[in-house]
Chain A
Amino acid sequence: MITLEQKLKIQAYLDGELSQSEAKKVEFLMASDQEAKQVFEELKCAADLLQNNEPEIKMPISRELFWNRIYNEIQKDEDESVSVFDYIRHLKYLLLNTKYLVPVAATIIALISIFLIKDFAKPIEDYLVSIETTSEEVGSYSFRVQSENMFVVWIYNKDKSDEKNIESDLIYDDDLFLQ
Protein backbone atom coordinates (compact mmCIF):
# COMPACT_ATOMS: atom_id res chain seq x y z
CA MET A 1 0.00 0.00 0.00
CA ILE A 2 1.65 3.27 -1.07
CA THR A 3 1.17 6.43 0.92
CA LEU A 4 -0.22 9.76 -0.26
CA GLU A 5 3.25 11.23 -0.11
CA GLN A 6 4.54 8.51 -2.45
CA LYS A 7 1.65 9.21 -4.83
CA LEU A 8 2.54 12.90 -4.87
CA LYS A 9 6.17 11.99 -5.54
CA ILE A 10 5.08 9.87 -8.52
CA GLN A 11 3.04 12.81 -9.82
CA ALA A 12 6.04 15.12 -9.38
CA TYR A 13 8.23 12.57 -11.19
CA LEU A 14 5.79 12.53 -14.06
CA ASP A 15 5.89 16.32 -14.23
CA GLY A 16 9.70 16.25 -14.17
CA GLU A 17 9.91 18.24 -10.99
CA LEU A 18 12.14 15.91 -8.98
CA SER A 19 15.85 16.07 -8.47
CA GLN A 20 17.99 13.32 -9.92
CA SER A 21 18.35 11.47 -6.63
CA GLU A 22 14.64 11.70 -5.83
CA ALA A 23 13.72 10.59 -9.33
CA LYS A 24 15.92 7.51 -8.89
CA LYS A 25 14.14 6.70 -5.62
CA VAL A 26 10.75 6.91 -7.36
CA GLU A 27 12.00 4.72 -10.21
CA PHE A 28 13.20 2.19 -7.65
CA LEU A 29 9.78 2.30 -5.93
CA MET A 30 7.96 1.73 -9.21
CA ALA A 31 10.25 -1.17 -10.11
CA SER A 32 9.80 -2.82 -6.74
CA ASP A 33 6.15 -2.01 -6.03
CA GLN A 34 3.48 -3.07 -8.47
CA GLU A 35 0.92 -0.64 -7.00
CA ALA A 36 3.27 2.29 -7.41
CA LYS A 37 3.82 1.33 -11.03
CA GLN A 38 0.06 1.13 -11.55
CA VAL A 39 -0.45 4.61 -10.03
CA PHE A 40 2.25 5.94 -12.38
CA GLU A 41 0.55 4.36 -15.41
CA GLU A 42 -2.81 5.83 -14.43
CA LEU A 43 -1.41 9.31 -13.90
CA LYS A 44 0.51 9.15 -17.17
CA CYS A 45 -2.59 8.05 -19.00
CA ALA A 46 -4.60 10.93 -17.51
CA ALA A 47 -1.88 13.43 -18.44
CA ASP A 48 -1.71 12.16 -22.04
CA LEU A 49 -5.44 12.31 -22.29
CA LEU A 50 -5.55 15.91 -21.13
CA GLN A 51 -2.66 16.97 -23.30
CA ASN A 52 -4.03 15.50 -26.51
CA ASN A 53 -7.60 16.57 -26.00
CA GLU A 54 -7.24 20.11 -24.75
CA PRO A 55 -10.00 22.11 -26.40
CA GLU A 56 -8.78 24.81 -28.78
CA ILE A 57 -10.77 28.00 -28.79
CA LYS A 58 -10.66 29.85 -32.09
CA MET A 59 -11.20 33.57 -31.90
CA PRO A 60 -13.23 35.10 -34.66
CA ILE A 61 -11.00 37.02 -37.13
CA SER A 62 -12.24 40.49 -37.82
CA ARG A 63 -12.02 42.02 -41.30
CA GLU A 64 -9.46 44.53 -40.08
CA LEU A 65 -7.24 41.84 -38.53
CA PHE A 66 -7.46 39.76 -41.72
CA TRP A 67 -6.22 42.59 -43.97
CA ASN A 68 -3.60 43.61 -41.44
CA ARG A 69 -2.16 40.13 -41.56
CA ILE A 70 -1.94 40.22 -45.35
CA TYR A 71 -0.38 43.69 -45.28
CA ASN A 72 2.19 42.57 -42.71
CA GLU A 73 3.15 39.54 -44.78
CA ILE A 74 3.67 41.72 -47.88
CA GLN A 75 5.66 44.26 -45.85
CA LYS A 76 7.86 41.51 -44.44
CA ASP A 77 8.66 40.18 -47.93
CA GLU A 78 9.49 43.66 -49.23
CA ASP A 79 11.77 44.50 -46.31
CA GLU A 80 13.72 41.31 -46.89
CA SER A 81 14.16 41.99 -50.59
CA VAL A 82 15.84 45.46 -50.20
CA SER A 83 19.04 45.31 -52.25
CA VAL A 84 22.11 47.53 -52.50
CA PHE A 85 20.63 49.05 -55.65
CA ASP A 86 17.59 50.14 -53.68
CA TYR A 87 19.84 51.96 -51.22
CA ILE A 88 21.78 53.60 -54.04
CA ARG A 89 18.54 54.61 -55.72
CA HIS A 90 17.29 56.09 -52.49
CA LEU A 91 20.56 57.92 -51.89
CA LYS A 92 20.45 59.27 -55.43
CA TYR A 93 16.92 60.48 -54.83
CA LEU A 94 17.96 62.20 -51.60
CA LEU A 95 20.95 63.85 -53.23
CA LEU A 96 19.08 65.02 -56.29
CA ASN A 97 16.27 66.36 -54.23
CA THR A 98 17.04 70.06 -53.84
CA LYS A 99 15.80 69.92 -50.28
CA TYR A 100 18.75 67.77 -49.33
CA LEU A 101 21.29 68.87 -51.92
CA VAL A 102 22.23 72.11 -50.17
CA PRO A 103 22.84 70.66 -46.68
CA VAL A 104 24.73 67.66 -48.07
CA ALA A 105 26.95 69.83 -50.28
CA ALA A 106 27.52 72.27 -47.41
CA THR A 107 28.50 69.41 -45.11
CA ILE A 108 30.96 67.95 -47.62
CA ILE A 109 32.57 71.37 -48.15
CA ALA A 110 32.66 72.01 -44.40
CA LEU A 111 34.27 68.61 -43.69
CA ILE A 112 36.94 69.07 -46.37
CA SER A 113 37.68 72.58 -45.08
CA ILE A 114 37.95 71.41 -41.48
CA PHE A 115 40.40 68.64 -42.36
CA LEU A 116 42.47 70.99 -44.51
CA ILE A 117 42.56 73.59 -41.76
CA LYS A 118 43.55 70.95 -39.23
CA ASP A 119 46.39 69.82 -41.46
CA PHE A 120 47.68 73.36 -41.82
CA ALA A 121 47.05 74.18 -38.20
CA LYS A 122 50.08 72.29 -36.97
CA PRO A 123 51.94 74.02 -34.18
CA ILE A 124 54.05 76.83 -35.57
CA GLU A 125 57.04 75.49 -33.63
CA ASP A 126 57.11 72.53 -36.01
CA TYR A 127 58.17 74.89 -38.80
CA LEU A 128 60.57 77.03 -36.83
CA VAL A 129 64.26 76.39 -36.79
CA SER A 130 66.43 77.61 -34.00
CA ILE A 131 70.15 77.77 -34.66
CA GLU A 132 72.71 78.84 -32.12
CA THR A 133 76.42 78.95 -32.66
CA THR A 134 78.05 78.75 -29.29
CA SER A 135 81.68 79.24 -30.22
CA GLU A 136 83.02 82.76 -30.66
CA GLU A 137 85.43 81.62 -33.31
CA VAL A 138 82.80 80.34 -35.70
CA GLY A 139 79.65 81.66 -37.29
CA SER A 140 76.91 79.93 -39.24
CA TYR A 141 74.57 80.31 -42.16
CA SER A 142 71.58 78.16 -42.75
CA PHE A 143 69.55 77.55 -45.84
CA ARG A 144 67.07 75.14 -47.29
CA VAL A 145 67.20 73.70 -50.78
CA GLN A 146 63.63 72.74 -51.46
CA SER A 147 64.23 70.73 -54.61
CA GLU A 148 66.81 68.51 -52.89
CA ASN A 149 64.87 68.41 -49.62
CA MET A 150 67.96 69.45 -47.75
CA PHE A 151 68.44 71.83 -44.85
CA VAL A 152 71.98 73.02 -44.35
CA VAL A 153 73.72 74.69 -41.44
CA TRP A 154 77.00 75.94 -42.79
CA ILE A 155 79.63 76.62 -40.20
CA TYR A 156 82.53 78.92 -41.06
CA ASN A 157 85.58 80.15 -39.30
CA LYS A 158 85.17 83.83 -38.43
CA ASP A 159 88.88 84.47 -38.88
CA LYS A 160 88.69 83.48 -42.52
CA SER A 161 85.32 85.06 -43.21
CA ASP A 162 86.94 88.06 -44.90
CA GLU A 163 88.62 85.84 -47.41
CA LYS A 164 85.43 84.24 -48.74
CA ASN A 165 81.79 83.82 -47.98
CA ILE A 166 79.28 81.04 -48.18
CA GLU A 167 78.23 81.82 -51.74
CA SER A 168 81.69 80.87 -52.96
CA ASP A 169 81.13 77.32 -51.72
CA LEU A 170 77.77 77.01 -53.39
CA ILE A 171 76.92 76.39 -56.98
CA TYR A 172 73.21 76.38 -56.38
CA ASP A 173 71.38 79.65 -56.37
CA ASP A 174 67.76 78.87 -57.34
CA ASP A 175 65.28 78.03 -54.66
CA LEU A 176 67.78 78.84 -51.94
CA PHE A 177 66.90 80.70 -48.78
CA LEU A 178 69.81 82.01 -46.85
CA GLN A 179 69.03 82.81 -43.24
Chain B
Amino acid sequence: MKWKSLNLVLTCKVLVILAFLIPATPAKAANLKLSIHLVWGSNEEKLPNSNYKKLNEEMANKLKKIFKWKYYFEISKQTVDVPTRSTKKFNVSKKCDIEITEMEGPRVEVKLYGEGKLINRTVKSLTKDELFTIAGDDKNETAWFVIIKLLEEK
Protein backbone atom coordinates (compact mmCIF):
# COMPACT_ATOMS: atom_id res chain seq x y z
CA MET B 1 0.00 0.00 0.00
CA LYS B 2 1.54 3.22 -1.10
CA TRP B 3 0.58 6.28 0.90
CA LYS B 4 1.00 9.70 -0.55
CA SER B 5 3.24 11.71 1.68
CA LEU B 6 1.11 13.75 4.02
CA ASN B 7 2.62 16.99 5.18
CA LEU B 8 1.06 17.17 8.61
CA VAL B 9 3.00 20.21 9.70
CA LEU B 10 1.67 22.19 6.77
CA THR B 11 -1.86 20.92 7.42
CA CYS B 12 -1.61 21.99 11.05
CA LYS B 13 -0.43 25.45 10.08
CA VAL B 14 -3.31 25.83 7.64
CA LEU B 15 -5.80 24.75 10.32
CA VAL B 16 -4.50 27.28 12.82
CA ILE B 17 -4.58 30.09 10.24
CA LEU B 18 -8.13 29.12 9.25
CA ALA B 19 -9.24 29.11 12.86
CA PHE B 20 -7.97 32.67 13.22
CA LEU B 21 -9.66 33.75 10.04
CA ILE B 22 -13.06 32.30 10.92
CA PRO B 23 -14.83 35.18 12.66
CA ALA B 24 -16.67 34.70 15.92
CA THR B 25 -20.27 33.90 15.09
CA PRO B 26 -21.99 37.25 14.76
CA ALA B 27 -25.27 37.75 16.53
CA LYS B 28 -27.99 37.51 13.95
CA ALA B 29 -30.47 40.30 13.62
CA ALA B 30 -33.73 38.65 14.49
CA ASN B 31 -37.10 39.37 16.00
CA LEU B 32 -37.25 39.29 19.76
CA LYS B 33 -39.83 37.01 21.26
CA LEU B 34 -40.51 37.94 24.86
CA SER B 35 -42.97 37.40 27.62
CA ILE B 36 -43.91 40.27 29.91
CA HIS B 37 -45.49 39.53 33.27
CA LEU B 38 -46.91 42.11 35.61
CA VAL B 39 -46.86 40.60 39.08
CA TRP B 40 -48.13 41.78 42.43
CA GLY B 41 -46.34 40.78 45.61
CA SER B 42 -48.19 40.64 48.90
CA ASN B 43 -48.06 39.03 52.28
CA GLU B 44 -51.75 38.28 52.19
CA GLU B 45 -52.89 35.10 50.56
CA LYS B 46 -56.22 36.57 49.56
CA LEU B 47 -56.37 37.70 45.94
CA PRO B 48 -56.29 41.51 45.93
CA ASN B 49 -58.46 41.54 42.81
CA SER B 50 -60.68 38.87 41.33
CA ASN B 51 -58.98 39.38 37.95
CA TYR B 52 -55.61 38.44 39.39
CA LYS B 53 -54.47 34.86 39.44
CA LYS B 54 -51.72 32.99 41.21
CA LEU B 55 -48.34 33.31 39.55
CA ASN B 56 -46.86 30.12 38.13
CA GLU B 57 -44.95 28.21 40.76
CA GLU B 58 -41.55 28.37 39.08
CA MET B 59 -41.52 32.13 38.83
CA ALA B 60 -43.12 32.60 42.26
CA ASN B 61 -40.47 30.40 43.88
CA LYS B 62 -37.71 32.45 42.31
CA LEU B 63 -39.24 35.65 43.62
CA LYS B 64 -39.84 34.14 47.05
CA LYS B 65 -36.14 33.29 47.31
CA ILE B 66 -35.17 36.90 46.71
CA PHE B 67 -37.93 39.13 48.06
CA LYS B 68 -39.73 39.19 51.37
CA TRP B 69 -43.27 38.83 50.00
CA LYS B 70 -44.93 35.49 50.51
CA TYR B 71 -47.53 35.55 47.76
CA TYR B 72 -47.26 36.58 44.12
CA PHE B 73 -50.18 37.22 41.79
CA GLU B 74 -50.18 37.57 38.05
CA ILE B 75 -52.00 40.72 36.98
CA SER B 76 -51.24 40.36 33.28
CA LYS B 77 -49.15 38.30 30.96
CA GLN B 78 -48.38 38.85 27.32
CA THR B 79 -46.14 37.28 24.72
CA VAL B 80 -44.74 39.92 22.41
CA ASP B 81 -42.57 40.23 19.34
CA VAL B 82 -40.19 43.11 18.78
CA PRO B 83 -38.99 43.29 15.17
CA THR B 84 -35.28 43.60 14.59
CA ARG B 85 -33.80 47.09 15.17
CA SER B 86 -37.13 48.55 16.07
CA THR B 87 -39.05 49.75 19.09
CA LYS B 88 -42.41 48.62 20.39
CA LYS B 89 -44.46 49.88 23.28
CA PHE B 90 -46.64 47.56 25.33
CA ASN B 91 -49.33 48.46 27.77
CA VAL B 92 -48.77 46.41 30.90
CA SER B 93 -51.47 47.98 33.06
CA LYS B 94 -53.61 51.10 33.15
CA LYS B 95 -50.73 53.10 34.55
CA CYS B 96 -47.72 51.25 33.26
CA ASP B 97 -46.17 50.89 29.81
CA ILE B 98 -43.03 49.15 28.69
CA GLU B 99 -41.14 50.17 25.58
CA ILE B 100 -38.63 47.68 24.20
CA THR B 101 -36.02 48.34 21.53
CA GLU B 102 -34.16 45.51 19.85
CA MET B 103 -30.50 46.51 19.62
CA GLU B 104 -27.32 45.10 18.15
CA GLY B 105 -26.18 41.79 19.56
CA PRO B 106 -28.16 40.34 22.44
CA ARG B 107 -28.88 43.80 23.89
CA VAL B 108 -32.24 45.45 24.42
CA GLU B 109 -33.33 48.81 25.70
CA VAL B 110 -36.24 48.71 28.10
CA LYS B 111 -38.08 51.87 29.08
CA LEU B 112 -40.58 51.90 31.90
CA TYR B 113 -43.33 54.47 31.80
CA GLY B 114 -45.54 55.27 34.79
CA GLU B 115 -48.67 57.23 33.95
CA GLY B 116 -47.08 58.21 30.63
CA LYS B 117 -43.92 59.52 32.27
CA LEU B 118 -40.55 57.89 31.61
CA ILE B 119 -39.34 56.45 34.91
CA ASN B 120 -36.47 54.18 34.04
CA ARG B 121 -34.36 53.24 31.06
CA THR B 122 -32.20 50.13 31.10
CA VAL B 123 -29.94 48.79 28.36
CA LYS B 124 -28.72 45.26 28.85
CA SER B 125 -28.23 41.98 27.09
CA LEU B 126 -30.93 39.39 27.44
CA THR B 127 -30.24 35.70 27.57
CA LYS B 128 -32.75 32.94 27.33
CA ASP B 129 -34.32 31.91 30.64
CA GLU B 130 -32.95 34.99 32.38
CA LEU B 131 -35.60 37.00 34.17
CA PHE B 132 -35.16 40.73 33.82
CA THR B 133 -37.24 42.31 36.53
CA ILE B 134 -38.11 45.92 37.08
CA ALA B 135 -39.83 46.26 40.41
CA GLY B 136 -40.72 48.57 43.23
CA ASP B 137 -42.68 48.61 46.45
CA ASP B 138 -46.13 50.02 46.84
CA LYS B 139 -48.58 50.95 49.54
CA ASN B 140 -49.78 48.50 52.21
CA GLU B 141 -46.54 46.52 52.15
CA THR B 142 -47.03 45.28 48.62
CA ALA B 143 -44.83 45.39 45.54
CA TRP B 144 -45.12 45.28 41.80
CA PHE B 145 -42.86 43.42 39.38
CA VAL B 146 -42.56 43.69 35.64
CA ILE B 147 -40.77 40.53 34.56
CA ILE B 148 -39.38 40.27 31.06
CA LYS B 149 -38.22 36.94 29.77
CA LEU B 150 -36.57 36.16 26.46
CA LEU B 151 -38.38 33.18 24.97
CA GLU B 152 -36.16 32.48 21.99
CA GLU B 153 -32.46 33.16 21.70
CA LYS B 154 -31.55 35.48 18.84
**A interface vs B, CB < 8 Å?**
75, 78-79, 82, 86, 90, 94, 100, 103-104, 106-107, 110-111, 114-115, 118-119, 121-123, 125-135, 138, 140, 142, 145, 147-157, 168-172
Contacts and interface: CB of A to CB of B under 8 A. Distances in A.
A156 B117 CA distance: 15
Contacts of B19: 110-111, 114-115
Interface stretch (B5-13, B32-40, B45-53, B77-85): B5-13
Given A134-B119, A135-B117, A150-B130, A171 B136 contact: no
Contacts of A119: 24
A34 to B, nearest CB: 67
Contact of B9 (A103, A134, A135, A170): A103
Contacts of A155: 112, 119-120, 134-136
Interface of B: 1-3, 6, 8-9, 12, 15-16, 19-20, 24, 62, 65-68, 105-107, 112, 114, 117-125, 129-137, 143
B145 to A, nearest CB: 9
Contact of B15 (A107, A130, A170): A107
B121 A151 contact: no
24 contacts: A82-B1, A100-B9, A104-B12, A115-B19, A121-B24, A122-B24, A125-B107, A126-B107, A129-B124, A130-B121, A131-B121, A133-B120, A134-B118, A134-B121, A135-B120, A147-B65, A149-B131, A152-B66, A153-B133, A153-B134, A154-B136, A155-B119, A155-B136, A171-B65
B107 to A, nearest CB: 7
Nearest to B1: A78
Given A94-B6, A118-B24, A156-B137, A150 B105 contact: no
Nearest to A112: B19
Contact of A152 (B68, B105, B125, B135): B135
A131 B120 contact: yes
Nearest to A82: B1
B123 A129 contact: yes
Given A125-B105, A132-B121, A150 B133 contact: yes
A114 B65 contact: no
Nearest to A147: B65
Contacts of A156: 136-137
Nearest to A107: B12
B133 A152 contact: yes
